[in-house]
Amino acid sequence: MTAITEINEKRIQAEDYVQAVFETVKKRNPNESEFHQVVKEVFDSLVPVFEKNPVYMEQSILERIAEPERVITFRVPWVDDQGKVQVNRGFRVQFNSAIGPYKGGLRFHPSVNASIIKFLGFEQIFKNALTGLPIGGGKGGADFDPKGKSDGEIMRFTQSFMLELSRHIGPDVDVPAGDIGVGAREIGYLFGQYKRIRGCYEAGVLTGKGIGYGGSLTRTEATGYGTVYFVQEMLKEIGLSLKGSTVVVSGSGNVSTYAIEKAAQLGAKVVACSDSDGYIYDPNGISLDTVKKLKEVERERIRDYVKEHPHAEYFEGCSGIWSIPCDIALPCATQNEIDEAAAEILVANGVKAIGEGANMPCTSGAINEFLRNTVLFGPAKAANAGGVAVSALEMAQNSSRISWTFEEVDEKLQQIMTNIYRSSVKAAEDYGYPGNLVAGANIAGFIKVADAMIAQGVI
């Protein structure tokens, strides 16, 4: 056999392995399109890794990594303000604990189902590995819609949710945090209920806590800031910076708010943001004070922004936001919010960089469009890892019963984002995908987890 034929054979063997395992995943998890989407993206990147290191195939690492260690679903009954009993479905997927306790957020949104939680949990395994910190992957939530609910309803729902979840979590077992629909208020109620059930103060069981009871400074800002730090690293590589650039950010929740704040601090003009009803365009640059007041304090709709800023415009519907010309686009709302058509418009308008603040906000067609046109692309598991990284720093502070200053945590966050960028670039180069951070991040995260799994035997 010639050397060339041998290389081709190894490649074909790796491709066949990836395809066969992907078919099994689809069959075993029918009708879970978001889960299939994220598994396919990760698996496809890994072909050259298996070609070089057949031990991962021999050890059936893909078969094992795509099967959660544990999936928990449970009934969440609660009483609404009218005295009526309501029932929601709660989830926790404990996906992989090879490098640390399960770690990942909780999402409260009516669209939550097994596919959504599994896609988020699978993504979290590799994201958490990329941070370089000892955290495994997990995710949870409920199909509960917080919109229009009173504070009392939110508390009763959240307490009922924790009554069941508390059996399955702990500071060395599984450490949830926030995600869509779960912010400081919900984490407070969750923590209070857990403490009451256990009868002891285990600060490290949840992250994103208030500063007065075990939270870490910079955690609120970490995902948004981290996404912008990541974009800054990508821009630096080609001699650009955020200064003077025009930025569009989708969403107006936790990630978006602090992405807007950091981009503006670094000299960018952020001209648009959105919520699930529509988007605002403010050519003067968004007033973040107004956005914070509307969304963080009053829990109102983004359309009300134009009442205070009549020169700005409001547009109904979310997808039109990507037709606003910009240098940098930061999708920070939800999955699959940029499809191929939106990506084509962004490219035609001269976009230079994309930073995925949300999880899987770009469809695979959109990602290909960006990569084809050499738009800098920061994939979610790398670009938005700052949130979970600071969560791990919160756990470290809780274990040692000390707290660091805002500046200390922010400095560590910047260093972590730079490290994630560098390790993704290097893995991409090492495995034949120069400049492709999607593949680089998948590979760097995968190798760390796979090696730990092999070291720990068949479990």
Beta-ladder partners of 176:
104
Give whichever of 304 and 430 is closer to ligand NDP, judged by the CB atom. Answer: 304
With binding defined as CB under 6 A, does residue 105 bind ligand 2IT?
yes
Cα–Cα distance measured from residue 447 to residue 451, given in angstroms and rounded to the nearest whole number: 6
User: Which amino acid would we find at residue 51?
Assistant: E
Cα–Cα distance measured from residue 275 to residue 363, given in angstroms and rounded to the nearest whole number: 19
Identify the helix (H) or strand (E) that includes residue 89.
strand 85-96
Tokens 């979840």, residue located: 165
Residue 436 binds which of ligand NDP, ligand 2IT, none (CB < 5-8 A, kind-dependent): none
How far, in Å, are 38, 162, 200 from residue 195 at the CA level? 35, 10, 6
CB atoms within 10 A of CB 37: 16
Shortest distance, position 405 Cβ to ligand 2IT, whole Å: 20
Residue 332 binds which of ligand NDP, ligand 2IT, none (CB < 5-8 A, kind-dependent): ligand NDP
When binding is defined by CB under 6 A, the residue of 331, 387, 440, 445 that contacts ligand 2IT is 387
Question: Which one of 99-107, 231-239, 270-278, 288-296 is the stretch in contact with ligand 2IT (CB under 6 A)?
Answer: 99-107
Residue 207 binds which of ligand 2IT, ligand NDP, none (CB < 5-8 A, kind-dependent): ligand 2IT
With binding defined as CB under 6 A, does residue 337 bind ligand 2IT?
no
Q: Which of 103, 118, 127, 139 is catalytic?
A: 139
Shortest distance, position 123 Cβ to ligand NDP, whole Å: 9
Residue 352 dihedral angles phi and psi, to the nearest 5°: -105, -30
Are the C-beta atoms of 410 and 386 separated by less than 8 Å? no
Q: Is residue 74 classed as helix, strand or coil in its secondary structure?
A: strand
User: Which amino acid would we find at residue 401?
Assistant: R
Cα–Cα distance measured from residue 243 to residue 105, given in angstroms and rounded to the nearest whole number: 32
Q: Tell me, yes or no, if 139 is annotated catalytic.
A: yes
With binding defined as CB under 6 A, does residue 398 bind ligand 2IT?
no
Give whichever of 176 and 181 is closer to ligand NDP, judged by the CB atom. Answer: 181
Query: Could you give the string, one character per residue 158-177, with x where binding to ligand 2IT holds by CB under 6 A and - elsewhere?
Result: -------------------x
The structure tokens listed for 119 are 């896609």
Task: Name the residues that contact ligand NDP, by CB under 6 A.
Answer: 178-181, 183, 223, 251-256, 275-277, 318, 332-334, 357-359, 384, 387
What residues from 207 to 266 belong to the interface with ligand 2IT (CB under 6 A)?
207
Q: Is residue 245 classed as helix, strand or coil in its secondary structure?
A: coil
With binding defined as CB under 6 A, does residue 179 bind ligand 2IT?
yes
Torsion sign (Cα): 237, 242, 247, 252? positive
With binding defined as CB under 6 A, does residue 96 bind ligand 2IT?
no
When binding is defined by CB under 6 A, the residue of 131, 359, 423, 442 that contacts ligand 2IT is 359
Are the C-beta atoms of 70 and 36 separated by less than 8 Å? no
Residue 255 binds which of ligand 2IT, ligand NDP, none (CB < 5-8 A, kind-dependent): ligand NDP
Residues with a known catalytic role: 139
